[in-house]
Structure 1
Amino acid sequence: MPPDPAQAAPEAREPAAPGPLGVARTPTGDAGVDALLARLADADRLPADAHPQVYEDVHQGLRETLAALDARPGPVPVSREPSPSPSYDLRS
């Protein structure tokens, strides 16, 4: 009777070396965001178990960048209420 493949011992394999994923990163035009996205390239040279830390760092940086947009003072909103009619003194 041939051996049952389910009971066969798994072959010992060495983990593959880190390699580039080949994911293109398009510049956004914002230097801070582009620097964070460039940090993703670190994952190309790190083992897979180190990838979550890189992703968490980039995610946190992007969240902080978005939060900073909410904190910036913006233009003063224009009032939609009609302005009072000017009063003219027509006495001569």
Structure 2
Amino acid sequence: MSDSLPEAVAEADAVAPEVAAEVEAEDDPAAPAPLDVPRTATGHPEVDAGLDRLADADHLATDGHVEVYEDVHRGLRDALTALDARPGPPAPPRPYESRS
């Protein structure tokens, strides 16, 4: 009976690997942590999707942020370019200029 007691204590103290990893990450000050910067919706779906994509960097190490930032920058640049490409109202006709 005394032989089973150490095994029972060891099993009770054992932590699942995924739980142990979470605990270690919480204790590691260098581990990635969300910045919790509030993002306000703009009303433009393309821009809002880019801003939401920034949250993907929260769980990445610093060297992984570059890819996310570049992706968001590309998306925002494309959204701005699309605004310039949209045709506006036609320009008013120019008055006839006489050539005398």
Query: What TM-score do you get using the length of structure 1 for normalisation?
Result: 0.67
Q: CA deviation at 1:79?
A: 3.4
Aligned with 1:38 (options 38, 49, 52): 52
| Structure 2 residue identity aligned to 1:75 | P
Tell me the residue number matched to 1:23.
37
Report the Cα distance in structure 1 between the residues aligned to 2:55 and 2:73, rounded to whole angstroms.
14
Tell me the residue number matched to 1:81.
95
Deviations 1:42-84 (A, max 9, x none): 11111111001100000011011111111111110223638xx
Q: Quote the RMSD (CA, aligned, Å).
A: 1.7
Query: What TM-score do you get using the length of structure 2 for normalisation?
Result: 0.62
- Structure 1 unaligned segments of length 5 or more: list them: 1-13, 83-92
Q: Which protein has the bigger helix share?
A: 2
Report the Cα distance in structure 1 between the residues aligned to 2:94 and 2:29, rounded to whole angstroms.
65
The reply to whether residue 48 of structure 1 matches residue 57 of structure 2 is no
Tell me the residue number matched to 1:63.
77
Distance 1:50 1:15, change over 3 A: farther
Report the Cα distance in structure 1 between the residues aligned to 2:81 and 2:32, rounded to whole angstroms.
34
Q: Number of residue pairs matched?
A: 69
Report the Cα distance in structure 1 between the residues aligned to 2:47 and 2:83, rounded to whole angstroms.
12
- Structure 2 unaligned segments of length 5 or more: list them: 1-27
Tell me the residue number matched to 1:85.
none
